Amino acid sequence: MKFLFDFFPLILFFIVYKSYDDNLLGVIAGTKMLIAAGIIQNGIFWLKNRRFETMHLITLVLGTVLGGATIYFHNADFIKWKPTAVYWLFALVFMGSEFIGKKSVIRRMLEKNITLPDEIWSRLSYAWTAFFTALGSLNLYIAFTFSLDTWVLFKVYGIIGLILLFVIAQAVYMARFISEDASVEQSNPEE
């Protein structure tokens, strides 16, 4: 359910985009929906949790700034940069967390549920940094080499698919290093 909630602005963007025959008008209308849905998404999250989700805020701010430029100038090039800006920012955060603070972002997110050696946490952090850097670069390549329609399809299906594949690959990689003692300890806390 969280996965759908995280991606519902993108899904609404795609639905609105596909309802137009003219691709540019579809992107402009879809971008308006993306911004509105991002505001709603942040509002719902705030009402339920009394805090904001960082990822939602980042995508809303970048979507509003670059989407606003797309709407104002009637130029889809601005919104094409949004996924790249988001992914490169995430790459900087993952890389920076290796050098700033005591624990990397990936470790802080997962260590409550998974016990791994320190070197594996670093490898995971570097892997996410490389993945987000590559994904941002791939977005630019698709956005400025292929048609607007191809980019929208890549943005909706390709990026989500690549993220899912990478998460699965990470889970398989991590499974090799999860401590047996930690797994038993988590499943039998009384013993």
Q: For residues 61 and 124, what is the distance between their CA atoms, to the nearest angstrom?
A: 27
Q: pLDDT tens, 6-32? A: 989 999 999 999 999 999 999 999 999
pTM, whole model, 2 decimals? 0.87
Q: What is the DSSP letter of 97?
A: T
| Alpha-carbon torsion, ordered 173, 178, 183, 186, to 10 deg | -90
Can you list the pairs that 123-127 forms with residues at least 24 positions away whose Cβ atoms lie under 8 Å? Answer: 124/170, 124/173, 124/174, 125/94, 125/95, 125/97, 125/98, 126/94, 126/95, 126/98, 127/170, 127/173
With CA atoms as reference, report the closest residue to 4 among 125, 120, 160, 152. 160
pLDDT tens per residue across span 101-145 = 889 999 998 888 888 888 999 999 999 999 999 999 999 999 999
- Which ranges constitute the DSSP H helices of the chain? 2-18, 23-49, 54-73, 77-96, 105-110, 118-145, 148-153, 159-175, 180-187
On the question of pLDDT at 184 being above 50, the answer is no
Judged by DSSP in three states, 116 sits in coil
Among 115, 95, 117, which Cα is nearest to 105's?
A: 95
In the chain, what are the domain boundaries?
1-75, 82-179
